[in-house]
Structure 1
Amino acid sequence: MVLTSTLLESLEDCTDVTTWVNELLENSSETDVRSNGDAAHVASLIELDRRVGQLATQLEVLAQDTSTELENTIDDISRTVPRLTYDFQFMRESTQSLQLSLSRAQLKQSTTHGTDLETGSVFQTLKKLDRVKRNMVASRDVLLQAEQWSTLEGEVTALIGENELPSYQKAAERLGDARKSMALFQDTPEYEPRWTLLVSLQNQLEASLSTALVVAITSNHFPNCKAFYDIFSRIQRETEFRNYYYGARRLKLIEAWSQVAALDCGESPSSDQSESVKFSDLLGRFFNDFTTLLADEKNNIPAVFPNPLPTISAFIQNIFDALSPPFSQRLSNLTAYYGPTALLEIIKVYRLTEQFASAASRLLEGMATPNAMPPFLSSHSLDGSEDASDARTKSHGRRHSKRMSMSRRTPSSTLLTLTPDTESWEQSLFESFLDLQCDYPKLEGKLLEVSLGQLLDVSGGTSGLAGNESARVFREYFSQIFTVSEEAMLRCMSFTYGFGLHGLVETLEQVLESFISSTQKQLLNSRLLPSHGGSKVNYTDEIYYTDEDWAAFQFFLHLLEASRTAFERLFALNNRLRDTFAPTARVLEEFGADAFLPILPGASRGQTKLLLQSTLNSMEQRDLLHTVATSPDSLNPSSFLPRANTSLNTFTKTCQKLLQQTILTPLITSLTSYPALATWSSAPPQSRDGAPSIPQFSISPTPNMQRVAEGLLNLPHLFEVHVDDAALAFSIETLPFISADFLKSIYDERQSLGELPRSAASRKGSTAQRTLPPEVVTGTWLSSLTLSLLSHLTREVLPAIQSLSSQGSAQLSSDLGYLSNIVKSLNVEWEELEEWRELTSMTEGETKEKLRSAEGSSSRILERFASLRGWREPT
């Protein structure tokens, strides 16, 4: 059977109940037939009766449910219908009220124009009455003021005459009110007379208060001082009050400054000066007294003035302005007194000043932050018990900066906090040093000159640089130069915070360059230069040196070792320059393009601003600091001191050259008479009948050439003793006729090319030099010596021969061939030697043919040889 809800829906839609029942029963039967799949199983009548009974039951249940729902609906309607009457009544009354409101609005709109006219008239009347009232009040005030001005002079004079604080306060109040009323008389004939009277009465009141004010200030009666300050403020005399206060509070300090003579400032004790001391001692005592006074004013000024921080800053400025003689004058006299060594005393005074400024700054910071308890000078005394830079660093760790026009943004931890009030007195204090800071290079140069002059005196003077001990003197003196240079760096940082770096570098360059150049000049004039005479001593096989030659060899070898040490110190000096000035350089590099004022390590705001605005902050200075800030950990010695590096490099080459000349002295001596040998112009030997003799097929070398060639073969014995000497390995690439390519060629195949020394590496110290095997060092020196000798032979000795006969040419060919074989055995080749040797074996025709083919770019050697043979006119 279908569901009850479905059954009910189908019953509602039907129009004939009989038909609906039949359809329902037929659908049930068809469903059973389809399910059984056989028509023979159609339900019997009994089954139909059963189904009719079920349908009747369902219909009965549905009828009952429908009846119940209908009853409920009727009950709801019966309860709701009476309320509809009330709702209709409410709607009707609301409609009537709305209609009444609309009628009133229409009526009000019709009468609006007339109401606006009446309201405007009322307001006009009120405005007129208000204007009359204000004019009447102003007139009354003018009359009252006129009445008060008529009695002002008498009342104020009477109050002043009572000489009591309350009377003074009343007089100040009366004068203050009178001054306010001056605006009423602006642009009237009454203004000038009344203003003159007002100023006169203010002067009388100030004169009457001055004595009592000074008494109150000197007796530390600060409640009265506060009352007097209010009185002076009322009569617009606050500046005069500050002058009274500052003058009374600074009196003892100013007397302590002026009543003591500074001996090293050129001052002689006068009748009003109790004693005389060094300026640094006077300044230390003065700053201690100053700090004590500021410690008192830290508590006093807030009790009197409403703005304590600007007041105490102005008080400091006022004291410095009142010093007599001025601080800058004594500083200038101090510089003149000490002369070349003035920088040492100036820095000492500068440090004392910095310590005072640091203590005063901490005091001002404490006043700016009332809850803070800043450490004061009692724990950081001015006697140097704590380094000034440490104190400054601790103080500046809490600072940050205001915007300025020449620097770049930075985190707040690296900026300054002091206000412009602090900046004014700081700049005034340190401005006295600014000219001296700008002259720092000159002052440093004079001091270095004196210091190095004293070193020379201790070392035996400049003459000691040309004696047997000159290598030791040079090494010790150069070491002392670097010592004083490092001291100069510290002075530069202490006095200019790195802004004097460019001047310092220029000064050091000049000192180092001058010393190296003068030493080199003395060496060239030294009596220890290689000689060509004297008694011969056989120190090596077949090579004879005089005692002077051997002494010169030892001398130049030691001097080369001293040069090596100097390069190491120069490299260390470059690194020290970088490390010392890197903090300043990095700060300025960071602030290079924005608008914040950078904080220099250890410097105050006032110092930083003065230095940034000074001539020290030049383009060259900024470029140098940029190099410092961006330089790597490993520097080339020419990074900061290029001129000194060049001079020392030239000095090293000179030592190497002189050492080579000493070694080659016996061989060069053998070649001295070589151009004048008679064999060069000799004719071929003749037979007894006058016919030419049979040519000699083997000509022996001349004794001179034999000594030279054998001397070259015996040169390695000279280096056996010094094979491990670091001086020989130093700067080996600067030996004459030696290049990096040549060094590579003589390296052993097992030697890594990465270990090949370069100019920069070889000057860094012994670490790089130890990568050279001893046999490479010896081989390089032997090659350089051989090439130097061959250069001397082909460029000076052979061209000095006056003429060559055929026999002489044959002899020269034999000599040069013999020498060429020896040179090649030493793994050395010299193109000019081979060219001379080939020319000596040519016939006249071959030589002239070669000259013709070389026309326009002929060889210098070819031209000379043709002239020697008489085949071409000498050029």
Structure 2
Amino acid sequence: MASTKQLCESLEQYEDVIPWINDTLSVSDDSDETVDLVELDHHITQLLTTLDIACEDTSAQLERIIEDVSRGIPRLAYDLHFMKDGALTFQTALADVLLRSKEAVPAETNIALDDLHHLDMIKGHMEASREVLREAESWSTLEVEVTSLILEKSYAKAAARLSEASRSMVVFQNTPEYDPRRTLMVNLQNQLEASLSSALVSSINNQDIVACRDYFSIFSVIQRESEFRNYYNASRRSSIVSMWQNALLTDCEPTSSQPPGALAQPFVEFLQKFYTNFALLLNAERTPISSIFPDPAITLSHFITSTLSSLQPTFAQRLSSYNSHHGETSLAFLIPLLRATEEFATGVEKVMDKIESSAASTTQPRSSRIERPATHVRRRSSRLSISWRPDPSRIPPSERGVPTPSGGEVDAMEWDQELFQPFLNAQIDYGSLEQRFLEQSLREIITNDTRERVQDIDRPRLFRERAIDIFGVAEGSMSRCEAFTHGYGVIGLLHALDGFFQSFIDMWTADVRMESSGSSSLVQSSISVGELSDLDYTAQDWSNIQLSLHLLASARAVSERMATFETKLRSYLAEVAAHFRLARTDPQNFIIAITRGESQLLEQSTLNSAELNALLTNISNDAYSPLSAAPHSATLRAQNSAVAGPEVLLASARMSLSTFAQTCQASMQKTILSPLRQHLATYASSPVWGSPGDLKVTNSASDLRVPTFSLSPSDTVQRVAEGLLNLPRLFEVYAYDNALAFSLQTLPNVESEFLKTLSEPPPDTSSQSTRRRSSVAFVKPITLDPETVSSAWLVSLGHTYLDYLTKEVLPSITFLSIAGAAQLASDLDYLSNIVHALSVEHEALEKWKGYVSMDEEEGRRVLAEERSLDNVLQQVSKIRAWL
């Protein structure tokens, strides 16, 4: 074991105590074999002793510190009081010295000094006024001088003369002379620019770097730097703009003019060629721009931005046309475009790095830096302010302060914002695009499904095969989300996947509901019908039962596949959350997207929502939690409140799968109970209910009429009882079929408390071993035995059949005589004993039995005493004529 100091230092490196304990206890275990419990107990005892010693040492140090602070506080108050007294004394002494210094100087000397100061101020103002008046006087010859210099092609001298005149414009501000002189200044600058334009364009086209640098200096002097940049950018981008405008594309709107003989090509192929030529142009411009402009990185950024903004049709228009052309599957075609754009952006960043590295090696005067527009400052305020924030207390102190980028970095970043801006609307609409793509894939799968149904394919097997296709399509959704939104679209991804799986399963649920008996002949029974030949089932019934079982088995396979897919999905979300956390803690070295501009666009979009924040926070908190099991598994984990896990990601899909399982269970129960229901087809209309019976009158004081007919159960009830008692035989045949154990919580008329008791594990007598195991391993799932599953099904079938009896059959009896009531009471009592053998307790059946057994006097008394009339009592009173 490590020393106390080392253990305390290692504890500070963990955010959670449990991982530290596990890592500390596993330090001495170099093999993969399980640590012996005795040795583990020895390590735990030694660790507890070490921690106790550390706690005692910490407490002792804390007490010493408190004692030192307690002794030092009174001394601190005394020192502060002493410093205050010293400051007051110094202030008084300083005031006395100042007063004595003023009294030491004679009054005549003060007057003379004030006069000298006043005269010096007047002299300075007069000299400044003289200089300004000289500059203003030069305006009378300004136009002639500048015009003559332009004619002589002395452009530098003309620019210097205009610059001097521009500085004197402040003299005429707020005077009537200001506007005419301002107009004259602009006209002369326009003349100088017009005289330079042709030579400037020629120098730019000929790549005359020296001449371009001189012209740039002239334009900077006359405050026309932006016009020089416009000339330069327009001249150098002409080839790229023409290539874009003259492109003939097969999957976009045709442009207004096409060169003759041009070959059409897909947009993605053209875009790759366009980016290749654009990158070659940028590499060629790197050296001239670095030689001409004082800010080469910003200039190259503006060159890229101006080139992209001058494209006709615009990139956004062509992208919208491309999107409309590909329709429902446009997402799969947009991703290659974005990937090509990101590859181009990566190449441009390398060019930017080369420019910045070369610019850093040459120092430039601060005055040569060109001021940027105010819009850059506005963008700087929101730079890399990722809104997703985990718990601040869990952030290391060394990572809480992050330096902000400089202004030049923000300016040079604008090019990639202009580059990726056309994709932003599609990225924001990623959820809808993914949903449309998945729906189209589902329609294609359904088309194949319908085609194969005509060929009489086994439906349960077809359900499993189509589920494989569905999950195969869904597997690519995470890569599409990452490629197109870099994780910002995970909310739309979850909604699209949830709706995709839900639609697929709901289609099969509706199909099972409408055609529960259709195609049953295609399913071969896995048992010998002769074993149960005495049961009242036809060959069609056996086929329907087998079909329902196979569909439940397919649903179980789909549930397991969905749980596996959700595990992959949760792993992807954890990676996104970790990536976002790295980008937040170290934005200089980690970014969300390919470039900082693309990251900022996504960050400031509606994709970066509070819902995304909550999802990533929950995923981060559940990083070390066990994944929740499928809610329809045989372990009944969803019914056991003691087992907690992360929130289910595909809730609607799981609910649809639960509904599908419930539909299959209901169809199977309907088939199983169909012979028993047929026995009751004429039970309510039996003439025995209204028969008076063979009665004799006694001479007793009460004058009772005693029926003489037999009160044994009727033949119908005896046949029903035989059918109910045969149900356990039926489930003995299917007991080891795992399909019966799937989704027991959706069985009708089965209470959750009953299922919970079935799924509870046996208690562990060793609390110490349980506590140790829970800290290092997860609880194993509880597997139900076949007897437990059969019991749940028998309870459900019994309740379902008795509901049919008490809600539909018995209320259909129109009249009960005394003899009929006695017979019905005998039938219900016999039937109650039978269902008790199946562990079925049915409240309505007991009420019918109790109320029917009453004579007229007791029934009327109970009816009068009931404040709120029971529904069963009301029905019995009606057919017994008590009302």
- Same fold at TM > 0.5: yes
Gap change, CA 1:181 and 1:646, over 3 Å in 2: same
Q: Which amino acid aligns with 1:790?
A: L
In the other structure, the counterpart of 1:438 is 428
* Cα shift readout 1:64-103 (whole Å, capped 9, x = no counterpart): xxxxxxxxxxxxxxxxxxxxxxxxxxxxxxxxxxxxxxxx
Q: 1:634 aligns with which of 627, 636, 642?
A: 627
Number of residue pairs aligned between Structure 1 and Structure 2: 710
CA contact (8 A) 2:329 2:436 kept: yes
Aligned equivalents of 1:519, 1:272: Cα separation in 2: 54
In the other structure, the counterpart of 1:318 is 306
Is 1:860 aligned to 2:871, yes or no?
yes
In the other structure, the counterpart of 2:470 is 481
Aligned equivalents of 2:830, 2:143: Cα separation in 1: 128
CA contact (8 A) 2:662 2:747 kept: yes
SS in 1 for 2:248: strand
Is 1:528 aligned to 2:517, yes or no?
yes
Give the drift of 1:554.
Answer: 1.3
Q: 1:610 aligns with which of 601, 611, 631?
A: 601
In the other structure, the counterpart of 1:249 is 236
* Cα shift readout 1:20-65 (whole Å, capped 9, x = no counterpart): xxxxxxxxxxxxxxxxxxxxxxxxxxxxxxxxxxxxxxxxxxxxxx
* Cα shift readout 1:716-744 (whole Å, capped 9, x = no counterpart): 23223322222111111321222343246
Aligned equivalents of 1:344, 1:258: Cα separation in 2: 25
Is 1:498 aligned to 2:507, yes or no?
no
Is 1:800 aligned to 2:812, yes or no?
yes
Aligned equivalents of 1:562, 1:435: Cα separation in 2: 41
The runs of 5 or more residues in structure 1 that have no matched partner are 1-108, 374-399, 755-766
Q: 2:846 aligns with which of 814, 829, 834?
A: 834
Aligned equivalents of 2:189, 2:227: Cα separation in 1: 12
Aligned equivalents of 1:188, 1:817: Cα separation in 2: 116
In the other structure, the counterpart of 1:557 is 549
Aligned equivalents of 1:118, 1:612: Cα separation in 2: 71
In the other structure, the counterpart of 2:742 is 730
Is 1:426 aligned to 2:416, yes or no?
yes
5 Å matches for 1:125-274? 128=119, 131=122, 135=126, 139=130, 142-143=133-134, 146=137, 153=143, 156-163=146-153, 167-183=154-170, 195-267=182-254, 270-272=257-259, 274=262
Aligned equivalents of 2:849, 2:116: Cα separation in 1: 134
In the other structure, the counterpart of 1:519 is 508
Give the drift of 1:538.
Answer: 6.1
Aligned equivalents of 2:179, 2:839: Cα separation in 1: 111
Give the drift of 1:401.
Answer: 9.2
Is 1:667 aligned to 2:656, yes or no?
no
CA contact (8 A) 1:588 1:598 kept: no
Give the drift of 1:636.
Answer: 6.5
Aligned equivalents of 1:224, 1:460: Cα separation in 2: 74
Larger CA deviation: 822-831 vs 721-730: 822-831
Give the drift of 1:871.
Answer: 4.2
CA contact (8 A) 2:583 2:590 kept: no
SS in 1 for 2:207: coil
Q: Which amino acid aligns with 1:526?
A: E
Q: Which amino acid aligns with 2:465?
A: E
Give the drift of 1:660.
Answer: 1.1
Q: 1:336 aligns with which of 314, 324, 335?
A: 324
* Cα shift readout 1:199-236 (whole Å, capped 9, x = no counterpart): 44433332333233223222222122212211221222
* Cα shift readout 1:142-183 (whole Å, capped 9, x = no counterpart): 55874x6566555544544455xxx43344334433434444
Aligned equivalents of 1:804, 1:193: Cα separation in 2: 117
Give the drift of 1:454.
Answer: 0.4
In the other structure, the counterpart of 2:882 is 872
Give the drift of 1:664.
Answer: 1.5
SS in 2 for 1:659: helix
Give the drift of 1:266.
Answer: 1.6
In the other structure, the counterpart of 1:575 is 567
Is 1:677 aligned to 2:686, yes or no?
yes
Gap change, CA 1:786 and 1:527, over 3 Å in 2: closer
5 Å matches for 1:23-422? 117=108, 121=112, 124=115, 128=119, 131=122, 135=126, 139=130, 142-143=133-134, 146=137, 153=143, 156-163=146-153, 167-183=154-170, 195-267=182-254, 270-272=257-259, 274-370=262-358, 402=383, 404=385, 411=399, 417=405, 419-422=409-412
Gap change, CA 1:683 and 1:316, over 3 Å in 2: same
In the other structure, the counterpart of 1:774 is 786
Gap change, CA 1:693 and 1:151, over 3 Å in 2: closer
CA contact (8 A) 1:310 1:421 kept: yes
CA contact (8 A) 1:836 1:861 kept: yes
In the other structure, the counterpart of 1:91 is none
Is 1:449 aligned to 2:439, yes or no?
yes
CA contact (8 A) 1:542 1:714 kept: no
Gap change, CA 1:693 and 1:174, over 3 Å in 2: closer
SS in 1 for 2:867: coil
Aligned equivalents of 1:312, 1:351: Cα separation in 2: 22
Larger CA deviation: 323-332 vs 810-819: 810-819
SS in 1 for 2:264: strand
* Cα shift readout 1:286-306 (whole Å, capped 9, x = no counterpart): 112222222223322121111
Is 1:742 aligned to 2:776, yes or no?
no
Give the drift of 1:797.
Answer: 2.0
CA contact (8 A) 1:505 1:640 kept: yes
SS in 2 for 1:634: coil
Gap change, CA 1:630 and 1:480, over 3 Å in 2: farther
TM-score, length basis structure 2:
0.71
* Cα shift readout 1:361-406 (whole Å, capped 9, x = no counterpart): 3433443344999xxxxxxxxxxxxxxxxxxxxxxxxxx9957495
In the other structure, the counterpart of 2:372 is none
SS in 1 for 2:536: strand
CA contact (8 A) 1:415 1:599 kept: no
CA contact (8 A) 1:471 1:555 kept: yes
Q: 1:652 aligns with which of 658, 661, 667?
A: 661
Cα RMSD of the aligned pairs, angstroms, is: 4.2
Gap change, CA 1:697 and 1:262, over 3 Å in 2: same
Larger CA deviation: 313-322 vs 216-225: 216-225
Q: 1:715 aligns with which of 727, 747, 764?
A: 727
TM-score, length basis structure 1:
0.72
Aligned equivalents of 2:841, 2:113: Cα separation in 1: 126
The runs of 5 or more residues in structure 2 that have no matched partner are 1-100, 362-380, 521-527, 631-646, 697-703, 767-778
CA contact (8 A) 1:589 1:629 kept: no
Give the drift of 1:190.
Answer: 6.2
SS in 2 for 1:542: coil
In the other structure, the counterpart of 1:388 is none
In the other structure, the counterpart of 1:89 is none
Aligned equivalents of 1:137, 1:791: Cα separation in 2: 109
Q: Which of 1 and 2 has greater Rg?
A: 1
Aligned equivalents of 1:827, 1:112: Cα separation in 2: 119
Aligned equivalents of 2:618, 2:247: Cα separation in 1: 48
CA contact (8 A) 1:680 1:807 kept: yes
CA contact (8 A) 2:251 2:325 kept: yes
CA contact (8 A) 2:247 2:258 kept: no
Aligned equivalents of 1:812, 1:606: Cα separation in 2: 83
Give the drift of 1:112.
Answer: 7.8
Aligned equivalents of 1:299, 1:528: Cα separation in 2: 79
Aligned equivalents of 2:851, 2:836: Cα separation in 1: 19
Aligned equivalents of 2:871, 2:113: Cα separation in 1: 125
SS in 2 for 1:270: coil
